[in-house]
Structure 1
Amino acid sequence: MRFKFLVYTLIISLLSQTCKEEKTIEFKEINVTTSTNKIVEINIPEAFGDEEVSNVINKRINLVIISSLNVGEENSTSSMTVSESIDLFNKEYTTFKADFPESIMEWDAQIDGEIMYQSDEIVSIAITTYLNTGGAHGNLIIEFLNFDVYTGKQLKNEDLFQDYINFTEIAKDYFNEEIAYKKELYFEPDNFKLPENIGFNDEGAILLYNTYEIAPYSSGVTEINIPWEDLQNTLNFL
């Protein structure tokens, strides 16, 4: 009887593993535009393979794109497609030029996506958005998106680590080392906090602070890199 139970358990395990393997996803780069678009350039990764997982990932990426192009009322883009948001951005610029014909300011938007890291468990994607809507300078924003490869669910930073407190201490040491000789450039250099954007590449973890997050515009983006070997006891994945 025990032998039959073990055989049954092994079969269930193999079936489960097979189902998991069937949910493998891949990515291809796509360019998104419309017939009337003149000022928006979008090149992003699109997931394909398992339809259910791919749809979840692509929907989240598209929401980031739509939100990035929104220069009007926040609620006005809640049900838009990426194509509609591109046309709306162009329309907003046309309205701006009609209201201020003497202005020499030109609008443009550049959005690029990159697969930074992919394993059997997670995929880490960076979305870089540069938006120029006529101000003193354009606005550059980088957003990291981490997804569970099996479900497509976007992972929160806390989901990435089994020991978040230990990871925070490790990150703090790397942060202090990075800014040691330029502390005067930061708002509160002795009051460490993790960034909103934590991602991964082949070398390890990346902590990214966007412009204005912890320093003025002139300081640009702050990036902290932590190698894999210092993260082995903190991660929720290998």
Structure 2
Amino acid sequence: MRTLRKFTILSIICSAVLIGCKDEKILKDNDLSFDTYKIGKKQHLLNDTTKAACNFQLTMTFPDKYPNEELLKKIQKEFIITFIGEKYENLAPKEAANKYETDYIADYMSLENIYKEEPENSGAWMNYEQILDNKILFNKNDFLSYGVNLYTFTGGAHGMSSTVFQVLNLKTAAPIKLNDIFEDRNLDKVGELIRMSLAQKLGYNAISKLEDDGYDVAAIVPTENFYINETGITWLYNPYEIAAYVVGKSEIIVPYADLLIYINEDSAVYPLAKMQSNN
């Protein structure tokens, strides 16, 4: 009877250990939920619909609920900094968005003085536009990755689009930076992987071929503009950063399987990278 009891207890312990090990090897959704807030306004100079105008549009999907209220406030603060800047970091998300819109319109309306002084030189160049939105890219295993998209037109030859990625460690609400993942001595190797991944994406068998498409190969290095997901680390280079404007944005993913040997073992990202490298 004692033997049977010991066997039963041992079986329960083994089962618990196996379940625990299994749980450590799966992706888990975070208990972080989101809300979406949209605002927009078109404002004409001199409040005259026949005059130039600015068009402002903002769509913000922001962290709204999290079991730890203190961490939620920190997460929202980091989100606001990425989305519209440090000037608004101490405001609640919707309040921050409203204040940003007010400031944008006020800045545009300052052009009225130029219009009044030189009406003959005003025209299409005074039509401004700004469009802001974001996308949640990864929300699992205590990480949040998101991207903020900005389009701005200020009367030039063309508007400018840019995207900024951010990764947060939800255990601390702190942004994850390159030096949280890689040691400086490994960044050259990581850069080589990025360049090779881009070459392969474009169908080339050599990095040098990128120059034929107008890329500045020397400029393709690891930057802070990256995000993580279940597959690997993705870097994004905005127009003009590594190639001419006509090339547009370059989004380059490097799989964890390639990066793992360069990721610090004490990095918060390492367990995820190791788990996904083995899948």
SS in 2 for 1:207: strand
Structure 1 residue 167 and structure 2 residue 195: aligned?
Answer: no
Contact 1:109-1:132 within 8 A present in 2 as well: yes
How many angstroms apart in 1 are the aligned matches of 2:191 and 2:215?
A: 19
Q: Please state how far the C-alpha of 1:141 moved relative to its aligned partner.
A: 1.1
Task: Choose 1 or 2 for highest CA Rg.
Answer: 2
How many angstroms apart in 1 are the aligned matches of 2:148 and 2:237?
A: 14
Q: Please state how far the C-alpha of 1:56 moved relative to its aligned partner.
A: 1.4
Cα separation, partners in 2 of 1:63 and 1:190, compared to 1, 3 Å: closer
Q: Which residue of 138, 153, 166 corresponds with 2:174?
A: 153
Question: If the length of structure 2 is used for normalisation, what is the TM-score?
Answer: 0.63
Cα separation, partners in 2 of 1:128 and 1:198, compared to 1, 3 Å: same
Q: How many matched pairs?
A: 206
How many angstroms apart in 2 are the aligned matches of 1:172 and 1:217?
A: 19
SS in 2 for 1:56: helix
Alignment map for 1:7-156 (pairs within 5 Å): 25-33=31-39, 37-38=41-42, 39-47=55-63, 48-49=65-66, 50-67=68-85, 81-97=96-112, 99-100=114-115, 102-105=122-125, 106-156=127-177
Contact 1:198-1:205 within 8 A present in 2 as well: yes
Mind listing any 5+ residue stretches in structure 1 that lack a counterpart? 1-23, 68-74
How many angstroms apart in 1 are the aligned matches of 2:82 and 2:112?
A: 26
Contact 2:169-2:175 within 8 A present in 1 as well: yes
CA root-mean-square deviation: 2.9
How much identity, in percent, do the aligned residues show? 21
How many angstroms apart in 2 are the aligned matches of 1:120 and 1:195?
A: 23
SS in 1 for 2:241: coil
Question: If the length of structure 1 is used for normalisation, what is the TM-score?
Answer: 0.73
Mind listing any 5+ residue stretches in structure 2 that lack a counterpart? 1-29, 43-54, 273-279
Q: Which moved more, 1:135-144 or 1:78-87?
A: 78-87
Contact 1:29-1:43 within 8 A present in 2 as well: no
